[in-house]
Structure 1
Amino acid sequence: MRSLEVPALVDHHCHSVVVADLADGALAGLLTESDRPPAPGTTPFDSALGLAVRRWCPPALGLPVHAPAADYLARRAELGAAEATRRLLAAAGLDTCLVDTGLAEAAGHPLLPLSEFAEAAGARVREVVRLESVAETVSASAGSWPALVREALAASAAGAVAVKSVVAYRHGLAVPAERPAPAAVVAAAGEWLRAGRGRLSHPVLLYHLLWTALDVCAELGLPLQLHTGFGDPDLTLHRADPSLLTDFVRAAEPSGVPLVLLHGYPYHRQAAWLAQAFPLVYTDLGLTASYVGPRVAAVLGEMLELAPFGKLLFSTDAYGLPELYLVGTAQFRHGLGTLLDGWRADGACSAADGRHLARQVAADNARRLYRL
């Protein structure tokens, strides 16, 4: 089963791409979560993700597997960004992409609007609204800010399939189980407005936003996605451990809103436990599947130790580069196929069991959760 045969994939969390002729350094810079220069004498291709790009992407551009990075970049430039993007996205074989629109550019270039991305990917595309981005656009007095934020979120989410929070980046995931008091929210809004607005990082406002999102999602029947685990240096890793959300998860249960824990790594086992313990918690591996390269089957196995098969979702979390879509889908197919081959050889499951599990994670769970 190593070349896993599954229906076209539903990528339940991703971003749009840049279609621009990027300099080699700018392109390679999108192969890392770091926003700092690489160590002297190295490039981002010197990584497990770099190996995965050179494994899966060269054939889509007419090169042999494991073509050197310099040859790959030269061939990409020869084809041009638009043609390379078309080939790489087509090779990914995606059916549906749920795109977080909270980011507007990558490497200094604008990301494709959703309609253009859908055409380039040959996939159906739906929007995931980023909570903090919506809140930062609201112009209001401190007293009217909470109500106007709720109105703005409800309007933005009306045509979306989910709302997403990046509170893990802004303050961490130790979210209290109680809603902030209204007076505290107004006072915090006043502080933020007097400071000139900008990036919203006040913990009281962030917690208020999460509870507001729960209310709006409950009304609209939408899941709430939360970034967990590793990311760029703007994040403090231990504060992004999904187990820190446990009190909030318990408190949110009466809302009936599904909570979707994205990425998780290196706390993916904690995310899997939460999905096992709480009926409304779902999880994925996301960009981790690409970043761990040859270890993808092992890490998938660690998630499936506890995560119910109907609670694990597929995503690439691809951002900026079409390569990350192809790598994400190829790593998933290969990793899950390798894992299930081992299970079947050990007598842990039948071939039919393996196919059913693969269909669930590849697409069926997302279609059910997001009502696609």
Structure 2
Amino acid sequence: MTDLTGEAALIDQHCHGVVTTDLDRLAFEALLTEATRATPDRSRFDSMLGLAVRRWCAPVLGLPAHVGPDEYLERRAALGWWEASARLLRAAGVTDWLVDAGFAPVALTGLPEVADLAGGTAHEIVRLETVAERVAGLAGSAEEFAADLETELHRAAAGAVGLKSVAAYRGGLDLPARPPSAAALSAAVGRWFAVGGRLTDPLVVGWLVHLGVRVGAEFGLPLQLHTGFGDDDLRLHHADPSLLTDFLAATRDSGVTVVLLHCWPFHRQAAYLAHVFGHVVVDVGLAVPHVGARSGAVLAELLELAPFGAVCFSSDGYGLPELHYLGAWLWRRELGRLLDAWIADDVLTCADAERLVAAVARDNALRTYSRVSE
């Protein structure tokens, strides 16, 4: 790993908290995968992510590299979840964590605990759908819902560094170029209220994302969008960021930066969108720990077309601090190896490489999330 990346302090532009209990093997393995059901004859340690945990997380916890899963988990239990989490998060070399706390099917640390464990600063990312569903539970009509939600989003945005939508999970990324009319929105919200449950109506979701654009512009906040792979609640072909082309064309002069998260296996499509739209920022956060030693190939493919000023770092660590750590460690290792190869092949100079690392590690995030530096 080149010194260019080894000492770079990172801003993690998208992550979640970590679990607040000690985990047995079954519970730990459940967090090593995007699958929501266990397969008894298929250990999640037998994966690129599982190999990465045993190879690179084990030494952080005081174990030999490549230790077996049972020994790794015994050591983790002996340390306790707090100490193990603190060691891994602090070893990541991240100064600022941008935390989406809007998704927590299991108990996770909040922002103050993330900051305490990691020895850095935690900032809030507001998930639009979570706010919308909370407001819907209290609203008496479609008109009241729309007004109350805008008020609540303004309140939430005042203390946040960014907004986020999971529209990819709620019908897909084929978002409308324009928000719907008030009449169409009222009818759609009425249908949603009649059925109940979480927000999945595509018209309401499209309106919500456009509301996020408007509120983001008012407060100077970027809008993050989940793209690419995730758990099995997702339909992957609906999460292709190229589906956002009309939406991005319509919002290019809105004043909002749109952040495409994760992106794999559509990271080349995302790179193209960042190439043609100046308000688009991309990362490959979730993919890096999951593909492990293959993450260098993913980073190289992203950088084929994405402007270097449009790429940020994130881990999308969720539940296991191992994911936060590996997101950072593998990013440093694989980007460093890629840049070493480019320098050796006279593709770029050391000065060029230093600027690229500084941009992706921190500078692009500081420009995108202006409140982080306040």
- Verify same fold: TM over 0.5: yes
Residue 287 of structure 2 is matched in structure 1 by 288
Give 2:191's aligned residue.
Answer: 191
Asked if the contact 1:101–1:127 (Cα under 8 Å) also holds between the matched residues in 2, the reply is yes
Q: Which residue of 2 aligns with 1:14?
A: 15
48-57 or 241-250: bigger deviation: 48-57
Partner of 1:232: 231
- 2:360 alignment partner in structure 1: 361
- Distance in 2, matches of 1:369 and 1:283, equals 11
CA RMSD after TM alignment: 1.1
Q: In the aligned structure 2, how far is the partner of 1:53 from the partner of 1:122?
A: 22
Structure-2 separation of matches of 1:41 and 1:244: 37
Within-5 A mapping of 1:243-262: 243-262=242-261
Q: In the alignment, residue 135 of structure 1 is paired with which amino acid? A: A
For residues 241 and 12 of structure 1, what CA distance do their matches in structure 2 show?
Answer: 21
Find the counterpart in structure 2 of residue 136 from structure 1. 133
| Contact 1:114/1:125 (<8 A) preserved | yes
Q: 2: CA distance between counterparts of 1:293 and 1:2?
A: 18
Match of 2:204 in 1: 205
The equivalent of 1:343 in structure 2 is 342
Spell out the pairing of 1:70-81 with structure 2 (5 A cutoff): 70-81=70-81
**Mean CA deviation greater in 125-134 or 4-13:** 4-13
Give the Cα–Cα distance (whole angstroms) in 2 for the partners of residues 167 and 42 of structure 1: 31
Whether the 8 Å contact between 1:56 and 1:326 is mirrored in structure 2 is no
Query: What is the alpha-carbon distance in structure 1 between the residues aligned to residue 45 and residue 191 of structure 2?
Result: 44
- Cross-structure match for 2:91: 91
Q: Over residues 234-269 of structure 1, what are the superposed CA-to-partner deviations in whole Å (9 max), with x where a residue is unaligned?
A: 000011000000000011112111000001000000
Rounded to whole Å, the distance in 2 between the matches of 1:232 and 1:63 is: 31
1:51 equivalent in structure 2: 51
Between the aligned partners of 2:156 and 2:127, the Cα distance in structure 1 is: 9
Letter in 2 for 1:58: A
Instruction: Give yes or no for contact 2:24–2:73 (8 Å, CA) kept in 1.
Output: no
Counterpart position of 1:272: 271
CA apart distance, 1:355: 1.5
Letter of the 2:282 counterpart: T
TM-score, normalised via structure 2 length = 0.96
Match of 1:116 in 2: 113
* 277-286 vs 15-24, greater mean Cα deviation: 15-24
AA aligned to 2:126 is: V
Deviating above 3 A after TM superposition, structure 1's stretches of 4 or more consecutive aligned residues are none
Q: How many angstroms apart in 2 are the aligned matches of 1:173 and 1:304?
A: 23
Percent identity of equivalent pairs: 53
1:105 deviates by 4.0
Deviation for aligned residue 1:178 = 2.0
**CA-CA distance at 1:19 after TM superposition:** 2.3
Moved more, 299-308 or 143-152: 143-152
Taking the aligned partners of 1:143 and 1:330, their CA distance within structure 2 comes to 48
Q: Over residues 157-207 of structure 1, what are the superposed CA-to-partner deviations in whole Å (9 max), with x where a residue is unaligned? A: 1110100000000100011212111101111111111223x2100011101
SS in 1 for 2:142: coil
Equivalent-residue separation in structure 2 for 1:190 and 1:70 (angstroms): 52
Unaligned 5+ residue runs, structure 2? none
Instruction: Report the alpha carbon displacement of residue 143 of structure 1 after superposing the two structures with TM.
Output: 2.1
CA distance in 1, matches of 2:357, 2:233: 34
* Contact 2:263/2:284 (<8 A) preserved: yes
Aligned equivalents of 1:36, 1:320: Cα separation in 2? 16
Question: Partner of 2:6 in structure 1?
Answer: 5
8 A contact 2:100–2:125 mirrored in 1: yes
User: What letter corresponds to residue 357 of structure 1 in structure 2?
Assistant: L
Count of residues in Structure 1 that have an aligned counterpart in Structure 2:
367
Partner SS state of residue 252, structure 2: helix
TM-score by length of 1: 0.97
Contact 1:272 1:307 in 2 (8 A): yes
Q: Does the aligned pair in 1 maintain the 2:178–2:210 contact within 8 Å?
A: no
Residues 149-160 of structure 1 correspond to what in structure 2 (within 5 A)?
149-160=149-160
- Cα pair 2:54 2:66 within 8 Å, conserved: yes
1:125 aligns with 2:122: yes
Conservation of the 8 A alpha-carbon contact between 1:6 and 1:358: no
Partner of 1:64: 64
Q: Is the 8 A contact 2:258 2:279 kept in 1?
A: yes
* Alpha-carbon distance between aligned partners in 1 of 2:355 and 2:110, rounded to the nearest angstrom: 35
Deviation at 1:42, TM superposition (A): 2.2
Separation of aligned partners in 1, 2:126 and 2:181? 25
Q: Distance in 1 between matches of 2:187 and 2:105?
A: 33
* Equivalent residues of 2:271, 2:302 under 8 A apart: yes
Structure 2 letter corresponding to 1:61: L
Is the contact between residue 19 and residue 85 of structure 1 (CA under 8 Å) also seen in structure 2? no
Secondary structure of the corresponding residue to residue 144 of structure 1 = helix
Whole-Å separation in 1 of the counterparts to 2:232 and 2:210: 27
